Structure formats: C-alpha cells, structure tokens
Amino acid sequence: NAGVTQTPKFQVLKTGQSMTLQCAQDMNHEYMSWYRQDPGMGLRLIHYSVGAGITDQGEVPNGYNVSRSTTEDFPLRLLSAAPSQTSVYFCASSLPLGGGRTEQFFGPGTRLTVL
C-alpha cells in the first residue's frame, strides 16, 4: 500500500491563479480530510468527507472547494489563490476499526506559496 499520497510537494502560485492539490489513498478508508498548517496555529480543518459523494466544511473553508467522486481521491481546489493561503496542506484518511480503535494516516504535505 502507498498509504496517502499528495501531489505536488511544492507549488508557487501568483495571486488570482487557481490550482488543484491532489490527494489519494489506497486503503479503502471512508473518511478523508484536508488541513492547513500555519506557524503557531496548529492544523485547521478545511473540508472533510465521510464517503464518496459526501463532503462538508471545516473550520476554514473559504476559498477552497472539494469533491469526492471516488473513495480513493479527495482533491482540494483553490479557486483564486491569495497570499493568505500560503501554508502547508495535509490530507488525511481514516477508518474507525471499532472498540475505540482507529486507523489513520496523513500524507506528506504540499507546501504552497502564493505571491
């Protein structure tokens, strides 16, 4: 298993450009989430999905869109990039195993700079 993969690893955008951050998992996990990590602020949830076709907003959804057409993929779209979106983006997938146990993995992250 490759686990959770994210592409690209690094990206530089100009203000106003759009792009899609890719996230894929091969573990048949139901749940997938996107977080951004900024210095001094920990990770903040952008959007999450509890299954194919089902997505919902997290704490900081503005400026981002998601879709979940398959179990494996959960792309994050930046509609019109702004300098405030400069951050490290992490995708995570998880599966509750029952009995209070869970299986969860994070991707390696995408470091995005918006000029």
Partner 1 sequence: SQELEQSPQSLIVQEGKNLTINCTSSKTLYGLYWYKQKYGEGLIFLMMLQKGGEEKSHEKITAKLDEKKQQSSLHITASQPSHAGIYLCGADLFGTGTASKLTFGTGTRLQVTL
Residue 73 DSSP one-character state = B
Annotate each residue in 19-48 with x if it binds partner 1 (CB under 8 A) or - if it does not, as one string.
------------xxx-x----xxxxxx--x
**In the complex, what is the shortest distance from the CB of residue 15 to partner 1, in angstroms, rounded to a whole number?**
25
Contact status, residue 64 vs residue 77, Cβ threshold 8 Å: yes
Q: Which is nearer to partner 1, 15 or 69 (CB)?
A: 69
Pairing of strands 10-13, 110-114: parallel
Identified binder of partner 1 from the candidate list 7, 15, 50, 70, rule CB under 8 A: 50
> What is the distance of C-alpha 66 from the center of its chain?
9
What tokens appear for 109 in the block? Answer: 């992250």
Q: How many residues form the binding site for partner 1 (CB under 8 A)?
A: 30
Phi, psi of 86, rounded to the nearest 5 degrees: -65, 120
Q: Does 59 bind partner 1 (CB under 8 A)?
A: yes
Q: Which is nearer to partner 1, 44 or 77 (CB)?
A: 44
d(CA 52, CA 37): 25
Contact status, residue 23 vs residue 6, Cβ threshold 8 Å: yes
Q: Does 64 bind partner 1 (CB under 8 A)?
A: no
**Site for partner 1, rule CB under 8 A:** 4, 31-33, 35, 40-45, 48-50, 56, 58-59, 90, 92, 94, 96, 100-102, 104-109
